[in-house]
Amino acid sequence: MDLMLLAPEITIAVTGLAVLIIGLFLPTGSKKILGYLASLGVLIALALTISSLGTEALVFYDTVSIDALSQFFKIVFLVVALLFTIAGIKYTEGHSNTEEFFTLGLFATIGMMFVASANDLMVLFVAFELASLATYALAGFEKKNAKSLEAAMKYFIIGSLSAALMLLGISYIYGATGTTSIPEVAANAGVLLSSPIGLVSVVLLIAGFGFKIALVPFHMWAPDTYQGSPSVVSALLAAGSKKMGIVAAFKVFIIALIALQAEWQTAFAILAVITMTYGNVVALNQKSVKRMLAYSSLAQAGYITMAFVVLTPIALGGGIFYALSHGFMKAGAFIATAAVTYMVLSENKDSNDPDHIDNFRGLGKRMPITALSMTVFVFALAGIPLTAGYMSKFILFSSTIQAGFVWLAVIAILNSAISLYYYAKVVKYMYFLPTDSEKVSEPFPYTVAMVIAVIFVLAIGFWSEPFVYWAMEAAKVLIPGGM
Amino acid sequence: MLNKEVSFTPMDVITSVYNYLKPRIWGMILALLFLSVIVVSIAFTSWPTMDQLPQNLEDQSYIEGIGVLIFTEFVIPFEILSIVLLSSLMGAIYMAKGDDNK
Amino acid sequence: MAPILSMIVLIPLIFAALALLTKTKEQARAIALTGTVIVLLLTVYMYFNFDSTIAANQFEELVEWVPSLGITYHLGVDGIAMPLILLNAIVLPLLVLFTWNDDRKSPNKFYALILATEGAVIGVFTALDFFLFYIFWELTLIPLFFMVSIWGGPNKHHASIKFFIYTHVASLVMLLGIFGLYFAAWDMTGTPTLDIPTLISQFQFIESGIAKDLIFLALLFGFIVKIPSFPFHSWLPDAYTEAPTAGSVLFVMLKIGGYGLFKVMLPMLPFTASPNMMISIMAVLGSVSILYGAFLALSQKDLKRMVAYSSVSHMGYVTLGAAGLVSLSVSGAMFQQFSHGLIMSVMFMSCGIINNATGTRIINDLGGLAQKMPKLAVIMVLIFMASLGLPGLSGFIAEVSVLAGSFVNLPVYVMIALLAIVITAAYHLWALQRAMFGVYNERLGTVTDISTYQTFSMGVIAILVLYFGLNPSPVLDMMLTNSEHIISLMAAMGV
Amino acid sequence: MAVENYAFLIPLLPALAFVLTFFLGKKLPKGGAIIPIVAITISFVISLLITLNLLANPEEVINQSYSWFAILNIGILVDPLAAVMLTMVSLVSLLIHIYSVGYMSHDKSPSRYFAETALFTASMLGLVLSDNILQLFVCWELVGVCSYLLIGFWYEKPSAATAAKKAFLTTRVGDVMFLAGIIILFSDLFKIFNGTIPDGIYILRFDEIFAHIPDIAAMNANIFGMEVSHITLITLLFFGGAIGKSGQFPLHVWLPDAMEGPTTVSALIHAATMVTAGVYLVARTFPMFIAAPDSLMVVAYVGAFTAIFAATMGIVMNDLKRVLAYSTISQLGYMMLGLGVGAAIGAEAVGISLFHLINHAFFKALLFLCAGSVIHAVGTHDMRQLGGVAKVMPITAATMVAASLALAGIGIPGTSIGTSGFFSKDAIIENAYLFGDTTGAWIPYALSIVAALLTSLYIFRLLFMTFYGKPRTDYGGHESPGSMTVPLSILALFALFFGGLTSKTFNTFVSETFVNNFVNLNIHELASIGGYHLASHGGHHEPMLILWMPLIVALVGFLIAFLIYGLKIVNMDSLVSRNNPIYKLLYNRYYQNAIFTDFFSVKVIYEGFAFAGRAIERGFDWIVNWLSNLTLEAGESLRQFQTGVVQNYATVVITGVSLLVILIKVVMEVI
Amino acid sequence: MIPIALYLALAAIIFSIGLYGLMTQRSGIRILMCVELMLNAANINLVAFSSYHHDLTGQVFALFSIALAACEAAIGFAILLALYRMKDTISLDHINILRW
């Protein structure tokens, strides 16, 4: 039955509702259970998704497609959601609005999951908006915190703008093809190809997705929002909703608008280079770790975007694989920052910059597990071997060379080298700079979330075969025939 | 106040126009740029549309058809929309409500 | 048969993790010593079962890893790698003994990093799959980065980050070259593989000359920076100087650049589109490094910095010898790596001792130390003589093989290198004279001679330097077998 | 006779003695001197036996080769040339060791001294025994390093440490040339064999080298536009090595400073080991030189010039050991001259030169040991403070006189009466005449005659100033102990009579080196490769004056010295003053120190080149830092782009969209 | 009959007005209104295409997007309200703690 194929989404929705309703009846002190409930729901959904790996189906009047690509990204989103809910247990501790936090997070996840399996532009747009709207409120979750509010405001305004741009683009595509179904758009792309409106809609859609992926120049909100939002939410944004942008772009450009390949390849080539360079260069001088991670996230987005330029099955597989790795690395890094922020705030409630890099001084002594995990994450982001980041770069960059884009690979490699500077700076602060403060106990849920992320970062780096295999399977959805 | 003599010199007009435009000029230029890009593209596109509107007005806007579509082909977006509404409701209430400790 | 190579690679890494868990200096050093000695025993066992008359890889281990990308876990040693593994296996236990009584903060991390470096470096030497090779290659960076950053000198942060990023850039460029090779072979054979021997043998079939040259140059750049060779050496003086003594010794053990040159570059060299240009590049870099490093060493005031530059000079022989393309020069260059590792480790140990004892490394501030430290003086004189290429010590064998062999094909470059010999002698003797001889500088306070542990570890290496200087065959034979194999391949291709 | 089976022990025993003395010497009486003495005695006995055997059976050359590494070998070659050297080196070294027991009895670390001298002797013996050029180079370098250790023996003296360094570095310049020669030779032979060398053939062995002289001579190198035959190039480079080791001009500067070590070390360096190595190298590879007449010409000129150049400085020095040091340089010049004249007389030149080398070893060792004896007793080596030492130290004085006579070359031409030095030096000067006669190059001969005059002058000046007259200062001296005087006496006997006894047989014996079973070379063919013919023997009759000339100038020299320093009739005060530019020039040793050390090594190399290197290095550093700073600054300025105002963000997005459309349009049009 | 391009041009003009407002206005309320303007401009497009294609999909889409616009307005005003509580202003160009 069709609904069975949507079991993961339904599970998440039901969990979200359950959390919301149960939360209404619980006193503030015992709302911790909601976090466990949410995590449990995500775990079940994850299990359902994994168990259904390999199924292929087009359901609900061909508006939803279950295939390797959507399954893969669903797993990415669910894993990020899992990290989010686990870390959220600690973050919402003592908070009276725990149920909103988890429900919004879970609903955002549903949006992302539907984007991954959308086979119709309407589904895609609505799901996209779901993921956006739910996270606007999450970004401003700390209502008393001017930074959090400002982050939400910027996120919201730029988000609305890009939604409008995207809608405009979709309307033109609809006008030119007479349909919103992704395969049919591809089949009727003649007008788009022959008219200037094709280019305009491509750019408008790039602006829409680029907002989520945080491509320069549509990235402007990202550093501010990642910095201002609660770290756990930043993790969801950077690791989850960014991937949603990528999968949407995969679907729309590579499947629907393959006829306009030349246009968007050029666009992505320009944007990839600008994005990775800008992200890395600006990240060099950041003092706020979260802002630094935000810029690094830009850079990583730039790398993933290379897949659109190269457009070989391996490159796409590499891009998809990179998205998975990046989910773990970035989510882990933000959660580690959340742990540090928590530690700083519990020592000094009025601390203005809890994520300032000075607070990472001597972290190796103060919070050994957090520091070690953070080291793994930043080294993975930098692409040090035996981590997921290295494996991803290996596949993606190597395929770039294969396709003959040597210049692009060189730029990416140089960027990768620059990035080492600011990643190593974090390690330097954590291990080499002295501190007077003492060892503190590390918040357990954060630790669990970080350890899960570390395990996956290392596992993907070390035992990559299954992950690579599934990423390549997913890439075959985009370009049938495969390698 | 009413009796105050109000007089404009041409310079005042220019100044006030200038002052009005100064912070907005870039916005205008960019909006016009965007507009021209879009309009040019629209103009140079041969839209694959019907030659004329349907004779029957009901074919233009057909509520029953829309309803059927919503509950068949576009049931999934519709369902998602329900979640969107719920979450924006929650979000808006959460953001808008005052300090619950008070 | 037991997977002896995996054991040699993994045991240091496992012991590194164990060392990290210890609490006291005593436990940490005991673990470090145990780990390194086990590796030494295994290596010695392997050495005696090694057939030095064949050039093929031996003790091979092959396990599928990521089949969809052609990544395998493929280990093996040949005559190029074996001596370098032996070098590491010999020096590392002695290094642990050398640091036996040192007091430093977090000794557990210290010994863990030593062990980790050993595992990573041996990993590079044994890897027969480019993926694995690159993993170990990068893995060598991290412990050394920590080593410099934690226990380094006053300028450690600058030095460590410079070293880290500089060599990382080089590694990435090398990685680009690997990618190029990987996909070129993939396109030709239809199956992905990262197996080093396979890829090297596929290189000649690449059609595009530009592609071949680019791949070659990218790989060459990666290796040259690690060696390091002029003009890509500027990370070295800072890193070597700021590193703690053990760190400097570990840096010296890092012979992966030259190893790559022999293992990867030379078999590919004749098939590049313009082999003569490549040879010239290598020869110029090698000979200029020799001369330039010597001059720079001569002008240094800091003893350790001088030794660091002398290392640049000495490693120039490796590049030059590789470019010589005569079995004698190539094997000489390989032997130079081995010999340089032995010599330089004692040089750095001496610098460390002097710095610890007197609190300064500025040569002019020292003086007459031989009177207070006779044992150190004896070892230092021997090692300095070895370093300046005195016959009867290992450095000479390497230098004369390189120079004589390379002259056949590269007379002009060898003449440039010869100019450096006098300079090399000059700075060594100048440093010896100012630091060790002459009137004792009373401002240095009371100075005591080296401890028994230090004497033992430096003495053993010094004796090995002497032994291999008199009888290089135990390691040179296998190098010769391999270099003759490389040269015969070229001859067979009519190059 | 099985003695050849023990030939390898000749260098090995002293080497073993080095190890034993080094580690055990401190625990033994007299610093374990007994170990090297016994070892060298055995070496001497074996050498002597081999020499005697060779004298009887010249074809029984000992040659044993073993593979060393790659295509190179180690091996032993004892032919007449080597045998003579071995015997001399081991004998002189033995006597010096015995002498040292007394001389070094007050030193604080005699064991180190004996260990190092044992190694020194071992290296020299190994050098002589080598059957291939590389092994010779190895020992050559070891000799150098031992001299470094011994000259710097009193390392706490800054002057000693400096002198040691200077000796090592200066000879190193020569060594590099030697090494370059070996490398070129290797590469030539490698090419001759086409890169594939059959098993069992060691291409750097002397017999292989000599066998391929014609092939090497056929190769030409183009150096700065000049066509030079490889054989000339190689031999010149070898001679460059010899210049360094044997203290020829211009690399002689280290030798006078080398007396900073104990006097016995000076004796060892100046007489038996080290400095003779250069001469031996040229002698060893003499067939190559014969094929390269240009090189021989250079050898002759450099030798003759060095002979007179050093002698001029010898006459003004006031330091006992320094005079002897310049005398050594001067005499080495004679030996080189003796080799250089080979362009006229062929392989016999080796015999002539080596004869002088042996004789010189005896009398120069004697001279130094006597000087050492004086210094040991008196405590100063400034001649101006000495005088009348003969009264206190009769045995020393007597032996010194014998040595001086030998050095000055007193003897009657045409007979067997004369000191050792007379026979050998006379032969060199005569052959220099023959050389001039054959080739028309008379300058070497002229220089050698003048140098003979100066030699006589400075040695008798020394003798008179030190041993005769009245003591100029109040020094308390006494005759040295038996362990010192006995070697002196033995050496004196050799200095006086060795030359006379062996002058007939020696030359024949040594000249057989290149024509026996081991290497059987046709010297005339080699000469024709070089493009000339050897002077036929016996056809020439030197005028009587030429035969007597050396003796005459020696006597004149004696007379002048006697007049000035013995009888003090002639007052030299006006000449010997700082106002006299010539005296000043000589006294300051031609300002070599200023030129070589201060200007060349310090200014040019250390300050000039090294400074340039530092500047380049800063340039590289600057580039790296500039790149990193540039990136960081770019980051800093790009940050400002993110203003924090949300309207600006929207502006950027919209601009981005519009521009991207236009940009892509443009890019796609262009492509 | 009216060519579709005119509808499209109208939508484009309205959209551009929205953009202009977004770039120049200070007040958060006005900016929100501009966003609504832009979304509705897109809706004009959708409906126009729907008519000219004789296809109801565009109208369904427009309906959905109207709903979404409402949601956006709701959450947008809520955020502005929260901001106003804290800062006593809804002039967005003064809210720039987060920058660089």
Which distant-in-sequence residues (6+ apart) come within 8 Å of C138 by Cβ?
A: A384, A385, A390, C168, C171
Binning pLDDT at 50, 70 and 90, where does residue A483 land?
A: very low
Min Cα separation D648/chain B (Å): 10
Nearest beta carbon to residue D631 from set A221, A278, A284: A284
ipTM attached to this prediction: 0.86
Four-point Cα dihedral A22, A28, A34, A36, nearest 10: -150
Q: Does the structure show a pLDDT above 60 at C331?
A: yes
Residue of D nearest to A223 (CA): D642
Min Cα separation A401/chain D (Å): 21
Binning pLDDT at 50, 70 and 90, where does residue B99 land?
A: low
Of the candidates C208, C219, C341, C332, which has an alpha carbon nearest to the alpha carbon of residue C282? C219
Q: Does the structure show a pLDDT above 50 at C479?
A: yes
Contact criterion met (CB < 8 Å) for A217 and D638 = no
Residue of B nearest to A111 (CA): B80
Averaged in consecutive runs of 10 residues, what is the pLDDT profile of chain D (671 residues)? 74 85 79 82 86 80 79 82 85 83 78 86 87 86 86 83 83 87 86 76 81 80 76 87 84 79 80 81 84 84 86 80 84 85 78 84 83 77 74 80 82 75 81 80 82 83 78 67 78 80 77 71 74 62 73 82 73 66 71 69 72 80 83 85 86 90 86 74
A20 neighbourhood in chain B, CB within 8 Å: 90
| Number of residues assigned to chain B | 102
Min Cα separation D662/chain A (Å): 9
Mean pLDDT of C345-358: 87
Partner D contacted by B25 (CB < 8 A):
no
Contact criterion met (CB < 8 Å) for B26 and D651 = yes
At E27, is the secondary structure helix, strand, or coil? strand
Contact criterion met (CB < 8 Å) for D649 and A200 = no
The total of structural domains in chain E comes to 1
* Contact between residue C393 and residue C386 where contact means Cβ atoms under 8 Å apart: yes
For the record, the structure tokens of D299 come out as 């050898």
Please give the pLDDT value at position A413.
87
Binning pLDDT at 50, 70 and 90, where does residue C108 land?
A: confident
Residue type present at position B48 = P
Please give the pLDDT value at position D574.
63
Cα A186 versus chain centre, distance: 27
Per residue in A15-48, pLDDT (tens digit) is: 999 999 998 888 877 888 889 999 999 999 999 9
Residue of B nearest to E50 (CA): B60
Instruction: Give the CATH number, domain containing residue E44.
Output: 1.10.287.3510
Residue type present at position D285 = T
B96 neighbourhood in chain E, CB within 8 Å: 77-78, 81-82
* Contact between residue A82 and residue A215 where contact means Cβ atoms under 8 Å apart: no
Separation of alpha carbons A160 and E71, rounded Å: 11
Please report all neighbours of E, defined by 3+ CB atom pairs within 8 A: A, B, D
| Number of residues assigned to chain A | 483
Contact criterion met (CB < 8 Å) for D664 and A157 = no
| β-strand pairing of D226-229 with A57-59 | unpaired
Q: Residue B32, by phi and psi: left (phi above 0), alpha (psi -120 to 50) or beta? A: alpha
Contact criterion met (CB < 8 Å) for B90 and A103 = yes
Q: Does the structure show a pLDDT above 80 at A57?
A: yes
The contact set of A with D (CB < 8 A) is 153-154, 157-158, 161-162, 165, 196, 199-200, 203-204, 206-207, 211, 217-218, 220-221, 223-224, 262-263, 266-267, 270-271, 278, 281-286, 418, 421
Contact criterion met (CB < 8 Å) for D647 and E97 = no
Separation of alpha carbons A266 and A276, rounded Å: 16
Please report all neighbours of A, defined by 3+ CB atom pairs within 8 A: B, C, D, E
A195 neighbourhood in chain E, CB within 8 Å: none
| Number of residues assigned to chain C | 495
Contact criterion met (CB < 8 Å) for C295 and D184 = no
| Structural domain span for residue E53 | 4-94
Of the candidates A276, A169, A156, which has an alpha carbon nearest to the alpha carbon of residue A228? A156
For the record, the structure tokens of A446 come out as 């954060």
Per residue in C210-243, pLDDT (tens digit) is: 888 888 888 999 898 888 888 888 888 888 888 8
Which distant-in-sequence residues (6+ apart) come within 8 Å of C462 by Cβ?
A: C346, C379, C382, C383
Element (H, E) at D65: strand D62-67
List the single best residue of A195, A220, A288 to mutate versus D (max D Cβ within 10 A).
A220
For the record, the structure tokens of A379 come out as 């080294």
Which distant-in-sequence residues (6+ apart) come within 8 Å of E5 by Cβ?
A: B42, B43, B47
Tokens 């992704």 belong to residue: A182
Listed by start position, the domains of chain D span 2-587, 588-640, 644-671
Q: Does the structure show a pLDDT above 80 at A383?
A: yes
D661 neighbourhood in chain B, CB within 8 Å: 37, 41
Q: How many CB pairs under 8 A join A and C?
A: 87
Whether E40 is in a domain gets the answer yes
Whether E86 is in a domain gets the answer yes
Please give the pLDDT value at position A300.
92
* Contact between residue D442 and residue D358 where contact means Cβ atoms under 8 Å apart: no
At E67, is the secondary structure helix, strand, or coil? helix
Q: Does the structure show a pLDDT above 50 at A156?
A: yes
Task: Give strand ranges (E) for A274-359.
Answer: none
Residue of D nearest to A160 (CA): D650
Separation of alpha carbons D147 and D160, rounded Å: 12
Min Cα separation C149/chain D (Å): 19
Contact criterion met (CB < 8 Å) for D657 and A204 = yes
Q: Output phi, psi for A220, to 5 deg.
A: -50, -35
Partner B contacted by E39 (CB < 8 A):
no
Whether E68 is in a domain gets the answer yes
List the single best residue of B32, B33, B36, B44 to mutate versus D (max D Cβ within 10 A).
B33
* Contact between residue D93 and residue D11 where contact means Cβ atoms under 8 Å apart: no
Residues 43-102 of chain B with CB under 8 A from chain D are: none
Binning pLDDT at 50, 70 and 90, where does residue B4 land?
A: low
The contact set of B with E (CB < 8 A) is 23-24, 26-28, 30-32, 34-35, 38-39, 42-43, 47, 49-54, 59-62, 65-66, 69-70, 73-74, 77-78, 81, 84-85, 88-89, 91-96, 98
Residues 651-670 of chain D with CB under 8 A from chain B are: 651, 654-655, 657-658, 661-662
C13 neighbourhood in chain A, CB within 8 Å: none
Per residue in C261-311, pLDDT (tens digit) is: 888 888 888 888 888 888 888 889 988 888 888 888 888 888 888 888 888
A138 neighbourhood in chain B, CB within 8 Å: 91
For the record, the structure tokens of C466 come out as 């002497």
D605 neighbourhood in chain C, CB within 8 Å: 298, 423, 426
Per residue in D5-19, pLDDT (tens digit) is: 787 888 888 888 888
DSSP string, A401-424: HHTT-HHHHHHHHHHHHHHHHHHH
Contact criterion met (CB < 8 Å) for E8 and B70 = no
Please give the pLDDT value at position D170.
83
* Contact between residue D202 and residue D208 where contact means Cβ atoms under 8 Å apart: yes
* Contact between residue C302 and residue C361 where contact means Cβ atoms under 8 Å apart: yes
Separation of alpha carbons A178 and A180, rounded Å: 7
Contact criterion met (CB < 8 Å) for E99 and D646 = no
List the single best residue of C385, C429, C436, C442 to mutate versus D (max D Cβ within 10 A).
C429
Whether E36 is in a domain gets the answer yes
Residue of B nearest to E17 (CA): B31
Min Cα separation E79/chain D (Å): 14
Give C378's DSSP letter.
H
Element (H, E) at C476: helix C473-492
Dihedral sign for Cα D607, D613, D615, D621, please.
negative
Number of Cβ within a 10 Å radius of residue C379:
24
Nearest beta carbon to residue E22 from set D642, D645, D650: D650
For the record, the structure tokens of A354 come out as 């809890």
Partner B contacted by E87 (CB < 8 A):
no
Separation of alpha carbons E30 and E13, rounded Å: 18
Is chain A in touch with chain C: ≥3 Cβ pairs within 8 A? Answer: yes
Partner B contacted by E17 (CB < 8 A):
yes
Separation of alpha carbons D295 and C38, rounded Å: 59
Please give the pLDDT value at position D535.
65
Q: Which of A118-122, C77-81, D413-417 has the lowest mean pLDDT?
A: D413-417
